[in-house]
Amino acid sequence: MVVAIAESAPVRSTFTKTRAGKALVRRFVAGDTLAEAIEAAQKLNRQGMKVSLDLLGEEVNSPVEVEAALASYVACLEEMAASSIDGNVSIKLTQLGLAFDPDLARATLDRLADSAARLGLTVTIDMEDSTHTGETVDIYADAQPRHGNLGLALQAYLYRTPDDLLRLMPLGGHLRLCKGAYVEPEAVAFQSTSEVDAAFARLLNVLMGYEEVTPAVATHDPQLIDLARQLNHQRRQPFEFQMLYGVRPQAQVELAAAGYPIRIYVPYGSRWYPYLVRRLAERPANLGFFLRALVSR
Ligand code: FDA
């Protein structure tokens, strides 16, 4: 429902044309340019938080666009190293061609992982909708043992994730556990909030109990954050919390102040629309605030 409203042409144009729309975009997206993302990253670093920079743009349909995405990510990694940013990059395999040429996506990931390794940096692969899950897991399982500087997001709402987790944990790297942000059918994913939360808790127990991988606990949910804190008492190796730029910023500062490692996912770039729609769908109140701000102008 929220996705349908947000994707309708009149609502879409108000995000770009009104002050309330632009403010909403700026809450969740650091800026259109790499320079703005670096500035946001520096600010977060100063507050004791690491970052993961995400160049937005998932509708990639040609090798030319893949090459452009790779060049932008390499430029991002180089700028991060030059500016001594404490962080890494997050990518989507569809940006590297997964939707039309999986071999190209594999080869491009190899090139990106090599560039990151030369700079001493890591790359996290986001998990997209379930039509891409199998290939994404397979590509990661092939690439991580060869490169060693990769990580992958896994979605608690998918029925297959417990098996993926057991397969991938022995590969080391970092595994980001999130609830899952796409609209998925009942055939592949839990539908209710309580089922998704319970699945997240079960997976978190497994992940935090495995010392050879770095768990990234990617949630803003206070109960799951508390669970991770409890599980950390038995853990010897590091883990980190991860949150999204603009979501519960006060909680981000508090976790950092309490001494927990925390990384903020910082999206940037001009192709922000699908990302914004996912943030609105997670919390329909965001769309309500925006629509009220529009009519009260
Ligand atoms: P939940 O949705 O229950 O939110 C808990 C509380 O957080 C809410 O009550 C509210 O206070 C606040 N909150 C959450 N979302 C908000 C929003 N949009 N606006 C305002 N407040 C909000 N998904 C995916 O499918 N693939 C991926 O690769 C990633 N990667 C990723 C990285 C990182 C660092 C994070 C934090 C999340 C992702 N996600 C993701 C998104 C994830 O799957 C999920 O959709 C969101 O994190 C929202 O779920 P929560 O766990 O925060 O819980």
What structural domains and CATH numbers belong to the chain?
A: 1-29+284-297 (no CATH), 33-271 (3.20.20.220)
| 58, 177, 217, 283, best to mutate for ligand 1 pocket (most atoms within 8 Å of CB) | 283
Residue 150 to residue 244: CA distance in whole angstroms = 20
Nearest protein Cα to ligand 1, atom 50: 219
**How far does the centroid of ligand 1 lie from the alpha carbon of residue 263, in Å?**
14
pLDDT digits (tens, 9 = 90+) for 42-91: 999 999 999 999 999 877 999 999 999 999 999 999 999 999 999 999 99
Which whole number is the average pLDDT over 164-180?
A: 97
pTM over the 0.75 mark:
yes
Instruction: Report which ligand 1 atom has the smallest distance to the Cα of 242.
Output: 34
Higher confidence at residue 6 or residue 250?
250
Please give the average per-residue pLDDT across 201-212, as a whole number. 97
Catalytic residues: 126, 176
Position 4 confidence tier, pLDDT thresholds 50, 70, 90: low
Protein residue closest via CA to atom 10 of ligand 1? 220
**244-290 confidence digits (pLDDT tens):** 999 999 999 999 999 999 999 999 998 888 898 889 888 877 777 77
Q: Which atom of ligand 1 is nearest to the CA of 218?
A: 36
Statement: residue 291 has pLDDT above 80: no
